[in-house]
């Protein structure tokens, strides 16, 4: 037997003993609707799911262990690979944490104004790209192939913008500790304006295509209800919490960066009795993302209209050497609150870096959410909580 296993671990090695009419099926790790390599151990009674046990770790890359041997600036590209769908927001979340720790040092002047605007611009564009992917693949999981093509057509435009901005399409390494890596290329703001003018009316088109589609409603309305108390207990944040009706968004409630200068709303889920939609069901979680894209467009428009201040794009500093201490910092990524806990001993490397991933928390609710539902509903749940396995497994 294994050297360091406990009693309960040993028990898990035994064969599962299903009831005589039960069947144990392994869904994944290679399955198109699991959004990466996730394996679900399903205990089925015909079509009904008695238990769905998630097995994760297939994408574990020891991010936290790596980070202990890297300087702070070297860690930034590693955060790209956590949630690779919204890498800008991951860069940003990590840099926020380091900057908060560095703010205890009087020599650190803070992030320059221009860099903050560039971060908001990049972060909100990435939020749209991320929600577009969530929308497109959710439709595809449920059986509607067309929205996927529409979503990827428009997401491609954002990726081209990012390619102009920093040279990369997915793993940007753009937001760095103290600022951003490079200034705007010529004509970039005009390109962004052209994109959002084109994009804003498309959201209504998507809603016509999928959100109010009869078949889609049948599959998602009233399915797998995660109410507010359950979402908070499971640590589910972002659209999953807002879909349960709680108006909570760190950009508004604990404003970081320069979000307090912009005017935007926080979309929350709503009860629609005639359609059968209840707070916290799959449809509401999905709908919040659709509405958030509009709010992101609003923020980007305000950045463009107000104009960007001139000045440096990165804080002047000799070395990134935060004072000894620790910080837990959160930011609002597209999939929820991304937290970083950093323990520093005053050297150039962190002693401990822990990433609290919103997808990890949301996925842990799957077991309770799926109990007693049908197999097809599992697909609807995974799509609606919108997980990226790169971030779950780190």
Q: Is 276 in the site for other proteins (CB under 8 A)?
A: no
Smallest distance from other proteins to CB 71, Å: 18
**How many beta carbons lie within 10 A of that of residue 314, not counting itself?**
17
- Of the two residues 100 and 270, which places its CB atom closer to other proteins in the complex? 100
Q: Which helix (H) or strand (E) holds 52?
A: strand 48-55
Per CB under 8 A, which of residues 34..73 are in contact with other proteins? 56-57, 60, 62, 64-65
Q: How far is CA 372 from CA 20, 42, 159, 170, in A?
A: 18, 11, 40, 38
Smallest distance from other proteins to CB 149, Å: 35
Smallest distance from other proteins to CB 38, Å: 13
SS3 386: coil
Q: Which helix (H) or strand (E) holds 43?
A: strand 39-45
- In the sheet with 39-45, reading across from the earlier edge strand, the strands are 23-27, 39-45, 48-55
Q: Per-residue x/- mask for other proteins, residues 162 to 181, rule CB under 8 A?
A: --------------------
Smallest distance from other proteins to CB 197, Å: 38
Q: Per-residue x/- mask for other proteins, residues 315 to 354, rule CB under 8 A?
A: --------xxxxxx-x------x-x-x-x-x-----xx-x
Q: Is 247 in the site for other proteins (CB under 8 A)?
A: no
List the one residue from 23, 25, 104, 208 that touches other proteins (CB under 8 A): 104
Show the tokens assigned to 324.
């000894």
Angle at 48 between CA 58 and CA 285, to 5 degrees: 65
Q: Is 12 in the site for other proteins (CB under 8 A)?
A: yes
Per CB under 8 A, which of residues 210..229 are in contact with other proteins? 229
Residue 333's nearest CA partner among 298, 365, 281, 289 is 289
- Of the two residues 305 and 319, which places its CB atom closer to other proteins in the complex? 319
């Amino acid at each position: 037997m294994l050297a360091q296993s406990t009693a309960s671990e040993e028990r898990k090695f035994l064969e599962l003993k299903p009831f005589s009419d039960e069947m144990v099926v392994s869904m994944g790790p290679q399955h198109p609707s699991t959004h990466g390599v996730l394996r679900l151990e399903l205990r089925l009674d015909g079509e009904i799911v008695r238990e769905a046990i998630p097995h994760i770790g297939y994408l574990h890359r020891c991010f936290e262990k790596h980070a202990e041997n890297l300087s702070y600036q070297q860690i930034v590209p590693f955060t790209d690979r956590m949630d690779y769908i919204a890498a800008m927001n991951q860069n940003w979340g990590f840099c926020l944490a380091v900057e908060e720790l560095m703010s205890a040092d009087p020599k650190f002047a803070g992030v320059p104004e221009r860099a903050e605007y560039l971060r908001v611009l990049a972060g909100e564009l990435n939020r749209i790209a991320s929600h577009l992917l969530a929308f497109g693949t959710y439709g595809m999981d449920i059986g509607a192939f067309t929205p996927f093509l529409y979503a990827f057509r428009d997401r491609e435009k954002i990726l081209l913008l990012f390619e102009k901005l920093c040279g990369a399409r997915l793993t940007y390494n753009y937001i760095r500790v103290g600022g951003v890596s490079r200034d705007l290329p010529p004509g970039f703001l005009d390109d962004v304006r052209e994109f959002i003018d084109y994009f804003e009316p498309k959201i209504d088109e998507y809603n016509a295509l999928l959100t109010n589609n009869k078949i889609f409603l049948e599959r998602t309305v009233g399915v797998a209800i995660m109410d507010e108390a359950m979402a908070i207990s499971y640590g589910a944040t972002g659209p999953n919490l807002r879909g349960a009706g709680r108006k909570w968004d760190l950009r508004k409630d604990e404003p970081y960066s320069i979000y307090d200068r912009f005017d935007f709303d926080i979309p929350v889920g709503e009860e629609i009795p005639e359609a059968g939609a209840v707070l916290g069901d799959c449809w509401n979680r999905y709908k919040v993302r659709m509405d958030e894209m509009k709010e992101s467009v609003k923020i980007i428009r305000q950045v463009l209209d107000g104009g960007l201040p001139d000045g440096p794009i990165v804080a002047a500093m000799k070395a990134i050497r935060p004072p000894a201490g620790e910080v837990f910092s959160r930011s609002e990524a597209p999939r929820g609150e991304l937290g970083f806990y950093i323990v520093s001993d005053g050297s150039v490397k962190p002693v401990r870096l822990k990433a609290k991933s919103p997808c990890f928390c949301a996925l842990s609710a799957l077991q309770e959410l799926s109990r007693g539902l049908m197999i097809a509903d599992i697909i609807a749940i995974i799509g609606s909580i919108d997980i990226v396995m790169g971030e779950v497994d780190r």
